[in-house]
A and B are shown apart, each in its own frame.
Chain A
Amino acid sequence: MKPDPSMLPVLIVLLPLVGGVLAPILGRGIFGWLLALITTGLTTFVCASQLLLIQAQNALTPGFSVSYPLGGWPAPHGIELKIDLLSALLATLVSGMGFMVTLFSRQGVDDEIPSDRRRFFWSLWLLAITGLLGILITGDAFNVYVLLEISSLTIYGLIAMGRQRTKQALTAALNYLVLGSVGASFILIAIGLLYAKTGTLNMADIHAKLLLAPVDATVLTARAFLLAGVGLKMALFPLHLWMPAAYSTAPSAVAALLAATATKVGIYMGMRFIFSVFAMPGDEMLSGGNVFIIGSCCGAAIFFGSLSAARQPSLSLLLAYSSVAQIGYIVVGMTVGHIDAMTGSILHMVFHALMKGGLFLCAGILIYRLGTTRLEDLAGLGQRMPWVSAAIVVGGLGMIGIPGTAGFVSKFYLLKGLILSGHPVLAGMVLLGSVLAAIYVWRFVEVAYLRPAGDTPLRNGLPFEKILPVLILLGASIVLGIQPGVVVDLARDAAQQLLGVTP
């Protein structure tokens, strides 16, 4: 009899899946929210334990990862869950954000979703989290596609439940559905080509087989399809067109969850495929031409994303376009394949999720109390809702990357890596991006503090469950800006593991 295997890996997807299936049965009234809260809380606990276990093992044997064969069928023939430091870190982030946003959104969901749909809302909500977590921990390429479809289909549904089911929300969901399906098909084509080439679907096995075979047109085509598909999913400029509309019309809870997690998981897919599947030994991860193309996309994302953000009529759209720019930062760091840039990239994924999640929650509070996030209706917000506008300013400072906020730490590592790897132009873009971010943050400051108070009536109180997540997320961005040690170590180890560099 073998010793009992640890069941932590499978619990990461199992808990939200069971919760998502139970929600339509049990989810009437407040129970749906309670179920989602308990499920995401437990999942966060499991992910965090897994992260700590892997980190402890990693200190002894670098490059450690947990493998879990489903059904007891060993890889490469069976499907395995494979969790390394990066997977565990991001799984903790995704489930933790899921918990925070769930905690936040009880009244918001009561406010925005009709009562007969609420139990299905919580079901879709938990299934979306299941899909996102599954992508992070699976070691099977086809599984990635299936879980991607699970998370995407549920997210289309969640977006379409937008405010009073306006036409914009439906249009945004349809746009995302079409573009997202194109992206998913590209990823499927890439996986199909890889399968044709190697005859296996296990990622580690594909990688091992690719190392033995010469790089030919099939592999290059697969990589091209994969990068395009993943680019659509992560909303990298110029493939970001679905994102601002989807974020600004979705229910406020959904917008916060998406901004904090969904695009991050897209970026994770890109990292995983580029560095763990396609990576060639002794070769650069991406050729000079690829770095040029993706680097230009990132530069354009930072430039146009920030400039567009400064011209938007509402806070939700402003935040969405700011996300376009921030995704540019994250991707630029992973492109050059330098250890410091990769550390910065992973750090920025975590910190951006905290800050942008917190900011979208603030936008959710505005919708809950004012019913709008149009900037002209926010005039004088600094006097009318001092705490909320202060929180938005704190998040905004993090977007700029002022020293003392978490945004500074990740940008510092990005810049260091970009300069050390010999890409001064890209480093310049990152610096320019900070200046441009100051423009759109200033727009909010100007509206909120330098204009006379508007007369949009305030409704509803400000319940404690709404304040607490905002405080935790934006508080964490300040604390981690001053004491980033723990997360930096984790990100550096994860980056080393991903790049296969020995310390």
Chain B
Amino acid sequence: MSDSVVLRTIGGMLFPYILVYGLYVQMHGEIGPGGGFQAGVLVAAAFILHALLFGKELTDRLLPTWLVDLAMSLGVLLYIGVGILGLVKGRYFLDYSVLDPTHPAHAEALGMTLVEAGVGLTVASVILTMVRKVNGESS
């Protein structure tokens, strides 16, 4: 937790913008550089900055531990879920074409966006959990 007014003010201003930038990288990943891994790290970095500036109690209130734990699993489940949809429709695992049978390119775009969202969710929450554990919480 920092006492410097300059750091806290600028950090507080930057926090939402880092989140938005993370979302941009997340959505952009399908057609260009970016994607779930990078976006996940950016989002996690925003919360780490928040914890450094305002103390981890406040960050925990903003983003409770149980939610982070849940997000770790939900991200992977989202990825697997897209795959299982293919199985349920009688195609191969992770076959995107079932998402939009009439338009393969749209189906692929949708499938990749969903899968990347799962990756982003898991990466962000795993990085946050790692930082939390290194901080020596609950061990």
Contact A10 B87 (CB under 8 A): yes
B109 at the interface (CB under 8 A from A): no
Instruction: Name the contact of B73 in the complex, choosing from A24, A68, A69, A70 (C-beta under 8 A).
Output: A24
User: Chain B residues with Cβ under 8 A from A10's Cβ?
Assistant: 87, 92-93
B94 at the interface (CB under 8 A from A): yes
What is the 8 Å Cβ interface bit string for chain B, positions 76-96, against chain A (1 contact, 0 not)?
Answer: 110010011011001111111
Contact A21 B77 (CB under 8 A): yes
A455 at the interface (CB under 8 A from B): no
A282 at the interface (CB under 8 A from B): no
A212 at the interface (CB under 8 A from B): no
Known: A25-B70, A116-B138. A72 touches B80 (CB 8 A): no
A91 to chain B, nearest CB (A): 17
User: Chain A residues with Cβ under 8 A from B77's Cβ?
Assistant: 18, 21-22
A4 at the interface (CB under 8 A from B): yes
B67 to chain A, nearest CB (A): 12
> In chain B, what residue has the closest Cβ to A3?
B90
A14 at the interface (CB under 8 A from B): yes
Contact B92 A71 (CB under 8 A): yes
Give chain B interface residues in 96-132, CB to chain A under 8 Å. Answer: 96-97
A46 to chain B, nearest CB (A): 13
> In chain A, what residue has the closest Cβ to B70?
A25
User: Chain B residues with Cβ under 8 A from A68's Cβ?
Assistant: 92-93
Give chain A interface residues in 1-52, CB to chain B under 8 Å. Answer: 4-5, 7, 10, 14, 17-18, 21-22, 24-25
Contact A71 B90 (CB under 8 A): no
User: Chain A residues with Cβ under 8 A from B94's Cβ?
Assistant: 70-72
> For chains A and B in complex, what number of residue pairs have CB atoms within 8 angstroms?
48
User: Chain A residues with Cβ under 8 A from B76's Cβ?
Assistant: 17, 21
Contact B92 A70 (CB under 8 A): yes
Instruction: Report whether over half of chain B's contact residues are helix, strand or loop; otherwise say mixed.
Output: helix
Instruction: Name the contact of B93 in the complex, choosing from A22, A24, A70 (C-beta under 8 A).
Output: A70
Q: Give Cα A72–Cα B72 distance, bound, in whole angstroms.
A: 27
Give chain B interface residues in 9-60, CB to chain A under 8 Å. Answer: none
User: Chain B residues with Cβ under 8 A from A25's Cβ?
Assistant: 69-70, 73
User: Chain A residues with Cβ under 8 A from B95's Cβ?
Assistant: 71-72
A306 to chain B, nearest CB (A): 41
Instruction: Name the contact of B92 in the complex, choosing from A18, A21, A69, A116 (C-beta under 8 A).
Output: A69
Q: Give Cα A10–Cα B96 distance, bound, in whole angstroms.
A: 16
Contact A5 B92 (CB under 8 A): yes
Known: A25-B70, A25-B73, A72-B97. A14 touches B92 (CB 8 A): no
A122 to chain B, nearest CB (A): 12
Contact A22 B73 (CB under 8 A): yes
Instruction: Name the contact of A72 in the complex, choosing from B70, B73, B92, B138 (C-beta under 8 A).
Output: B92
Contact A24 B96 (CB under 8 A): no
B53 to chain A, nearest CB (A): 29
B84 to chain A, nearest CB (A): 7
Chain B interfacial positions (CB closer than 8 Å to A): 69-70, 72-73, 76-77, 80, 83-84, 86-87, 90-97, 138
A-B pairs with beta carbons under 8 Å apart, 17 shown: A4-B91, A5-B91, A5-B92, A21-B77, A22-B73, A22-B77, A24-B69, A25-B69, A25-B70, A25-B73, A68-B92, A68-B93, A69-B92, A71-B86, A71-B93, A71-B94, A72-B97
Given A10-B93, A70-B94, A72-B94, 9 new contacts (CB under 8 A): A5-B91, A24-B73, A68-B93, A70-B93, A71-B94, A71-B95, A71-B96, A72-B86, A72-B97
Chain A interfacial positions (CB closer than 8 Å to B): 4-5, 7, 10, 14, 17-18, 21-22, 24-25, 68-72, 116
